[in-house]
Amino acid sequence: MGMSKAKLLIGTFLLFGVGVLLFARLGHHPLWDDEATTALYGKAIWLHGDTFAFVGHNLIAFRSGAELRNLRNRYMPPLGYAVAAPFVGLLGDTAFAARLPFAVCGLLTVALIVYWMWQDDADILTWVLIAMAIVGNVSFVLFSRQCRYYPLAMFLSMALAYLYLHRAGRRWVAWTIGLVSVCLLASNYLNYAALYACFLMDYLLWGRRAHRLKRSDWLGIWTPQLILGAPLLYIWNPLQAVRIWHVDTSSWFSDRVTLFGWNLREMNGCEFGVGVLIVLAPVLYLAVRDRRLVRGPLALLVYVLVITIASPQQVGMTSVATVRYLVPTIPLCMLIAVVAIRAVTARRAWLAVPLAAIAFGSNLLHGGPWSGLGRRTAFADEVDTRRLRSTLVDYVGELRSGLPTAYGATAEWINRNLEEEQKVWVLPNYATYPLMFHAPKVVYAWQLGWPPEEQFKRLGPIHFRGRLLPEFVIVFGPTVTRPTVQAALRGRYRQIDTIDRFWADLIRPELFYHAFRPIADFDRSDQAVYIFGKADVPPPP
């Protein structure tokens, strides 16, 4: 078989295999909270042409409406919502419809990698190693299956990286870079800023020697961004993050240092890349003089540094980094690992595939039980990441058996037992939105505080905490034990049912939150889902 046919065969099998991993049971799990808000705003765009905060009779008011201005979401950039809009609008309120366009973005990212290898005439061993890296990267698959901006930002970042590295002698490339950059900006501001910081660093060190940009190139790159990006930033204002995250600047520098270490730890623990190979890459450069072994890790370091500096996350809020901001680095992490494996096995090429099987098929080189995650997570006793495993095998097992979730069971209970427009208060607040998407017939109450902001003054009293009692209260997990919740329920509500599911959203894409298998052994007294009804209202039949 000729080399071209072999590469074509590998590329075909790679796309097919990743397609199976991406689309198998895509709609089996209900949306979790961030996915649900994306789908709900997608419905709003489909119905109203804007990120309006009402879908039917329900208000989308995450964190007491901190994202809203004039009852419209003006915090998050809108492209992810717009991508979801026609799918949830035409195909209906299903998890499959909501996730479908984003899974397609994940597959397009793989298709671009295949095309890139073909254009660069990569040798057959590189094709094999890249295919192993992609198929073995469960984080790539999980983040690509989310109804969220992650796969969109990853694909657009990959497209910009390709255009940047293949820009020589092509007049149309600069304008294409400008237009694609606007799309990335409209997907996520942090990913845009981090990628451009990498481009600036790389251009100053290497890029201008290979192909110096002309005045016409600069004009093509920045004109679309100034014309389209400025109004985008004006309307969807990222500075509203101050209202949402309540950033404390008193210990900013020490927090950023800590968060930088966490970001690196979580990238390795979530298997974005093989940490030991990335660390070794600059050392291996001294042996094989492959510039990618320095260029790649340096770009990765700059990207993580910018995300760390610009991230709204505070160290005191959690004990793990918000690793989702770093999803676009996954292809780069895989490339660095592949180039490092080629360097390690330069004189014994037959070792490359076995080493890749260990690196990409298990978490051994990520540290395994010593990866540094595990007991730091919110659900440590239930999601045990501190074990030697093949994450790919775990994921395939999940696809085979499915994973029952609290959101799915609770939405089914609402659809089966409650009447149209009955009022329900959900705790904690973020658990409201999966139910709002999958069980929209009831009114989700008490999302706003009192007294109301100007934009909320015309809303009905059911939307404000304490103003009008809802008929039902649904409480997920340990929130039920909080004194304030107990006080709100006491004398007014009685427990009418318990949903026997572990309460947390264990389908999230971060490996330190993802369960892979059902959790049956949990404390039913405070780790299930609890349903309360007003004392003077008969319980559902």
SS in 3 state form for 458-494? CCCHHHECCCCCCCEEEEEHHHHHCHHHHHHHCCCEE
Say which residue the tokens 């994940």 belong to: 106
- The CA–CA distances, whole Å, from 139 to 190, 425, 509 equal 20, 34, 7
Quick one: tokens of 208?
């201008």
For residue 519, which of 435, 403, 412, 410 has the smallest C-alpha distance?
Answer: 403
79-91 vs 171-187: helix axis angle to the nearest 10?
A: 70
pLDDT value at residue 499: 96
For residue 410, which of 442, 439, 441, 433 has the smallest C-alpha distance?
Answer: 439
pLDDT value at residue 243: 57
Helix/strand/coil for 509: coil
CA gap 456, 458 in Å, rounded: 6
Q: Domain ranges in the chain?
A: 3-30+94-399, 406-534
pLDDT value at residue 374: 44
Quick one: tokens of 361?
């098929």
pLDDT value at residue 383: 54
CA gap 194, 188 in Å, rounded: 10
Q: Are 427 and 485 in contact (CB under 8 A)?
A: yes
Write the DSSP string, 209-272. HH-PPPHHHHHHHHHHIIIIIHHHHHHS-GGGHHHHH----TTHHHHHHHHHHHHHHHHHHTTS
CA gap 207, 201 in Å, rounded: 9
Q: Are 476 and 406 in contact (CB under 8 A)?
A: yes
pLDDT value at residue 372: 55
Q: Are 141 and 22 in contact (CB under 8 A)?
A: yes
- If one counts every other C-beta atom within 10 angstroms of the C-beta of residue 254, the result is 10
**pLDDT tens for each residue of 380-416:** 444 555 678 899 999 999 999 888 899 999 999 999 9
pLDDT value at residue 249: 62
Give the predicted TM-score (pTM) of the model: 0.94
Torsional sign, CA 66, 70, 75, 78: positive
CA atoms within 13 A of residue 302's CA, in its CB half-sphere: 18
Low-confidence ranges of the chain (pLDDT < 70): 1, 169, 240-250, 371-386
Helix/strand/coil for 353: helix
For residue 160, which of 127, 130, 194, 136 has the smallest C-alpha distance?
Answer: 194
Which ranges constitute the DSSP H helices of 169-214? Answer: 171-187, 189-202, 208-210
Return all residues near 268 (Cβ < 8 A) that are at least 6 apart: 274, 275, 366, 367, 371, 372
Q: Are 142 and 514 in contact (CB under 8 A)?
A: yes
Q: What is the DSSP letter of 448?
A: B
CA gap 390, 231 in Å, rounded: 46
pLDDT value at residue 414: 98
pLDDT value at residue 512: 87
